[in-house]
Structures are given as structure tokens and as C-alpha cells.
Chains A and B, each alone.
Chain A
Amino acid sequence: MAHEFEGGERGGTPEERRALDDLFSVTYEELRRLASSVRRDDPGATLNPTALVNEAWLKLANSPRCASTSRLHFKRIAARAMRQVLVEAARRRNARKRGGGEGFAAVTFDEELTETAACEKDLLVLDTALDELARMNPRQAMMVESRFFGGLDIAETAALLEVSEATILRDWRAAKAWLAHELRQGR
């Protein structure tokens, strides 16, 4: 998975790119913090990434970093950050299960393996598949990422990608079917 923005999105001056990277980092960290605080306040609560992204926007919207960022653009960045947060978590669990260390940063937890294994696997396969989709059709990959991880609705996604809602619906159906197939293959 790409950590930062590439291709067309990496355009602009070095300062703009740095600002974007910075915003991405901050969003990533904020999402993690929010997720953690939700769980601490109510261990049984369901983590809804869409709600987390919205809450992150409420927190970050007034900070100087977001001064020149629209809500839509922020959600797009947050979607990518959320993808990374989740994929990292899946990788970590996976690595731990295999008993592998990560050098200095290796952490050993007393932890029972749970039934989340399937979820982990799916997430990692989805991550790879999305990267491949980005090569086949960058717009569709961005669409899936924004809708699935960032919770953008059809109208928002259409506005973000500057296409009609009908196009989004069509793309979504095809991309979803292809990704579902990849997920099945990956099992």
C-alpha cells in the first residue's frame, strides 16, 4: 500500500506536498486516537470509521493545517489514513501471530488468537487488490477507498472525482464485484 499520495495527487510545490503529508500524518494519528477513546469509553461500542472521519474533521477543521482544505478533500485524505490505520493493525496482528519480531519495536502481548483472523486476511488482500485496481483504473481505486474507508456517499464521491453519480454507481458495482472476487481468491 502506498503510504502517501502519488501520481497526480503528488503534484504541486514541495511545500504543498509537505503540507499534504503533514495533514495526512495528523489525520492518521487523530483517527487512531479517536478509535482508542471510543473503545475506552465503551468497550462494547462499534467503531464506525465514517463517524470517526467526521469527528476527526470536526476536530481538525479549525486547525491551521486544514485552513486550505475543504471538507471533501479532508475526507478523501482521512479515507486514506483510515485505510492505513486498519491495514497496519492487520499487519501487526498477522506478524504477531506468526511470532515474528520487528527488531527493536517488537512487542509481545499475552493475547489469545481470536476469530478476527479472517477479517485480517481480507483486509490485507483488499489492500493489495486496491493497489492493483489503482494501476488498472486509478479513479475506481480512489472511489473505493473514499467510499469504503472514508464513508463518502455517492454524491460526495461524484463531486470528488468530478463524474456523474451514474458513473460512480456503475464503477462501484464493477469494482466491488472484482474486489470481491479477489478477496475470495485470496482466502
Chain B
Amino acid sequence: MDSARWQRIQALFHEAADLPPAEQQAFLKTACGHDDGLLADVLALLQEDARGASLLDRGVAHVAHQMLDEAGPARPALKEIGPYRIKRVLGEGGMGIVYLAERHDLGSLVAIKILRDAWLSPARRERFASEQRTLAQLNHPSIARLYDADTLADGTPCFVMEYVEGAPLTEYCRQHESSISQRLQLFRAVCEAVQYAHRHAVIHRDLKPSNILVKGDGSIRLLDFGIAKQLDSLDMPMDQTRTGLRLMTPAYAAPEQVRGERVGIHTDVYSLGVILYELLAGQLPFDLSQRTPGEAERMIVEQEPAKPSEAARRVAALPGKGARVPAASQSSWTDLDVLCLTAMHKDAQRRYVSVEALIRDIDHYLKGEPLEARADSLSYRLGKFASRHRRAVSAAAVVFTAVIGLVVFFTVRLTIARNAAVAEAARTQRIQRFMMNLFEGGDKEAGPADNLRVVTLVDRGVQEAKALDGEPRVQAELYQTLGGIYQKLGKFDRADSLLRSPWSGAGRSLARTTPRWRTAWWRSVSCAPIRRS
């Protein structure tokens, strides 16, 4: 029907509807003229209008009730999905159901995960499938393969994955009573798989021991890569407070996940930290089992966990629980505490920047090297080094001490010798000045006189020496020497007054230690008149 005709039908319908039923027929016959079709159409509308019992009158609630019935709890058992025949339920969790299924044609076993309460609108289904195909490219021996993913007819996403037989990581370690280093080796393998996915821009978002299976041969398989993202994007608009807890396993969820903030590599690093915590301490950092979602959320966001070492000690003290906790020395625990708590730091910025960095520190720990996370402490690094190379370090310490001893010894000797040399140079200089003054006689302009008697020179020297009050050692030396010359010249009274002066004793002792300059002085003094005459 075209718009114009519909317009006309409506106009007639409204006009007729306003009339008493008895007059409607007559009015319409006139109005429609020879157009019997038009008349029939308008009459049909009037009939329906009077009846008023269509679907539209009953309301949508009735329809919805009938149509969406299958979403109820008594959802009938699924028998097959595409080419797969469902064999049994492998597990059922908050997120969905996992079935063991067999491919009709190949007989191969797969695990099929169906997400509960997650429907994709038709517009999104193709995008979902293409995203999952990207995930199927992840090819790592420790990551369970994702073979296929699609939506069921009602838009429920489902994933066909490699079927892995194994025990969850924590379970495995408990059963095998694995040592710390065995646990760390397994954990390291988990980290490597996560790191591989991160390199391919895939974040797990829901890492937890039940998603990490250890096979009989001791190899590990990570399940559910990328599935949480799908869930997360579906659930984002839900009220934010419930988001994280509803979809993620709260015990392993990072604070930013709980707060509904952006997740990334750091989110997986956090979850890995919690898993490591559980492996080491035998219990989770937070006991959320008796908590309401709100309380659990607050604990994850605000509460600092006890150190794994403390938690382990507490668990070990519980009767019958000792076997759950691996043994480690006190110094190992210090590092393990740091390793664990750095990975699960509340502030994403202060965690390991990547899983690779976490792996590096695990390796450092296993080799007894210093952790990068503890790089700030020098004493720690030295301590680490010393314990790693105990014999080499003690040998080095002996050599080092010897070298230091020698260096100190020679430095002290050199300093003494240098000081002596400096002092002597100063004295020599002073004596030279003294000599110059002796000959100049205080008259620099006139210069030395032509005929000077030795005794005049010595007298002048005594006067000069008396002026050297600021240099008592030089003064004493001069008195001693000048006194000696007076004696040789036969001027014994003058000699006595000089040699008995308060400084002569000191002068004598000094003279003994510094004989060279005195001899030089004496020689120059005794030679002077000879040369001049």
C-alpha cells in the first residue's frame, strides 16, 4: 500500500469512527464511491477497532513471557553444537558451562565453553567471530588452542577449545608437595605463556589456578585466553561496582578491574602475583569467602595483604595444613615477599612493568642474583652477591684489605716526606733571604760593600736573626751557627750570649737534624771574605 492510499484510508477511518455505527456504512458508501477495495479496507479497520483484541491490545509483556521462556532455569540440556556432539558437562561456573564434546566426523575431543547470560546482538556477532579468529592464531605450547568460536542461534557466544586433562596449578602443587623452586618453575612457564600472549596484544584478564592446568607430564596449559575480554566488553555498561566481581574471579582480580577501570598488561601481572602468593603461602592474600561483594571490593582496593612469608607461617602452624606450604629459608622469603608483592602492588604503576620483568626477577631469584625489584638497596645487592660467591668474596676481601693497607701505608709515608720537603724548602728560602740581607746590610740601593770584615757580617747576622721572632726554629738555628763562628773568631763573650739564649737548645737539636743547610751557610760565610779580598 502506498502512502497516499494509506492517508486516504486513515482519513475515512477517523471520520467514520466518529459517527454512530449505524451511520458508518452509509457514509463510507458515499465517500468511497466505486472503490470497493477502499471501502473494504476502511471497514476492516473499523471492525478491528471495535474488537480491540489484537496482540497490540494485549501488551508486550505477554509476548515477552512466551518468547523468552527458554531463558528460565529449566533450560533443556544441550545435545549438540554444530559438528560436535556433547558428551558431558566438564564444569560449571559463574561465567558459563564447559562441555566435553566429540566431533562427529573426526572423533576428536574438544571442550566447548558456553557463556551464560552473555548474548551478542546480531550486529556484534560477526565482530565477535572475527576477534575470536585472531585469538585462534595464538600458538604456544602452554596455551590451550582455541579452535573455533561462534554464537549459538540465540546469540550466546561459545568457544571450541583444546580439551586438556590435568589438575589446576595449585591443586597439582599441593598433591605433589612441590618445593619452592618447582613451584617457581611451573609459575615461570605460566608467565612465559602470558608473556607470549601479551606480545600478540592479547590480555587474559581472568588468570586463576583453575584456568591453569598441569598435565600428567608436568607441562602446563592456560585456558580461556581472551574470553574474559569478550565478557568484559559485554558487561561494561552494567553498574560498574558489580562488573569486576560478577565476571572475574574476585580473588584474582586487580584493584583496577574491581573499580571498573581500564585493564591491561598490568592486570595480568597482578593476577599472576596473586597466583604466586597462593603457591607460596598456601592461601590467598585475602579471604573473600565470607565477604559481601562490597566488602570484597574494598579489601582488594584498599587492604594491604600480609607478606606471603607471614601467611605461610600462619598456614604451617595450622594443624594438618603444614604440607600445603613449601619450606624456604628466611632470606629466600624476603625475596619471595618482594617478588610477590611487587607483582600485586595496588598501584599498577609500581608493579612489574611487564610479565617479562616478572620472569627476569624469578630467574634472578632462582640463580640467587639480586632482584630488580629490590635494586634500591645497595646493602641488599652486596649481601646477595656475597652469599652467591661466598668463597670468591672472602678471597677478594683478603686481597682487598691487603691492597687498602698498602695504599694507606704508602700514602702516610709520602705525606710525611712531602711535608718535610716543603718545610725544608721554606727554610732554605728563608736562609737565602737572610744571606742577602747580611751582605746588603739593609741598604738595597747601595748593594754589598767592597770590604766587609767577617765579624761585621756575623754581627749583622745576629741583628738579622734577632728580628726573626716569627720563625723560632730558624732563629735558634742561626743563633747556634753564629755562636759557633764567634767562638772560632775568638769572640767568646758574644758566642756565649748566643749559645745560652733560650732557643739554643732547641736550635741544637734542630741543627742535628738539618745539617746540610748549616754547612752550606757556614761554607758561604767563611768563603765570602776570601772571595772579596
Chain A residues within CB distance 8 Å of chain B: 3-4, 21, 24-26, 28-30, 32-33, 35-37, 39-40, 43, 46-50, 52, 59-60, 62-63, 65-66, 81-82, 84-86, 88-90, 92-93, 95-96, 102-111, 114, 116, 119-120, 122-123, 126, 132, 135-137, 144, 148-149, 151, 170, 173-174, 176-181, 183-184
Contacts and interface: CB of A to CB of B under 8 A. Distances in A.
Interface residues of B, number: 68
A102 B336 CA distance: 54
A173 B49 contact: yes
B71 A35 contact: yes
Contact of B237 (A30, A43, A49, A108): A30
Q: Which of B68, B120, B124 has the most CB of A within 10 A?
A: B68
Interface stretch (B148-156, B275-283, B345-353, B485-493): B148-156
Contacts of A63: 236-237, 240
Given A46-B61, A84-B121, A122 B55 contact: yes
A109 B78 contact: yes
30 contacts: A4-B123, A28-B119, A30-B238, A39-B72, A40-B72, A47-B61, A48-B61, A48-B64, A52-B64, A59-B237, A63-B236, A86-B67, A95-B153, A105-B82, A109-B76, A109-B77, A109-B78, A123-B67, A135-B3, A136-B1, A136-B2, A136-B6, A137-B3, A174-B13, A176-B56, A177-B13, A178-B9, A180-B48, A180-B51, A180-B54
B137 interface: no
Contact of B63 (A110, A123, A135, A137): A123
A105 B153 contact: yes
Contact of B123 (A21, A82, A92, A178): A21
Given A39-B68, A39-B71, A174 B117 contact: no
Contacts of B13: 174, 177
Interface of B: 1-3, 6-7, 9-10, 13-14, 17, 44-49, 51, 53-57, 59-83, 117-124, 148, 150-155, 234, 236-240
Contact of A28 (B121, B148, B152): B121
B117 A105 contact: no
A135 to B, nearest CB: 8
A90 B236 CA distance: 28
Contact of A181 (B48, B71, B79): B48
A93 B118 CA distance: 19
B71 A3 contact: no
Contacts of B150: 104-105
B118 to A, nearest CB: 7
Contacts of B82: 103-106
A126 B55 contact: yes
B62 A119 contact: yes
A63 B234 CA distance: 13
A86 B63 contact: yes
Contacts of B69: 39, 114, 116
Given A24-B121, A29-B155, A107-B153, 14 more contacts: A4-B123, A39-B71, A39-B73, A60-B237, A85-B68, A88-B122, A88-B154, A107-B152, A110-B76, A126-B56, A151-B60, A178-B6, A180-B53, A184-B54
A62 B68 contact: no
B56 A148 contact: yes
Nearest to A144: B56
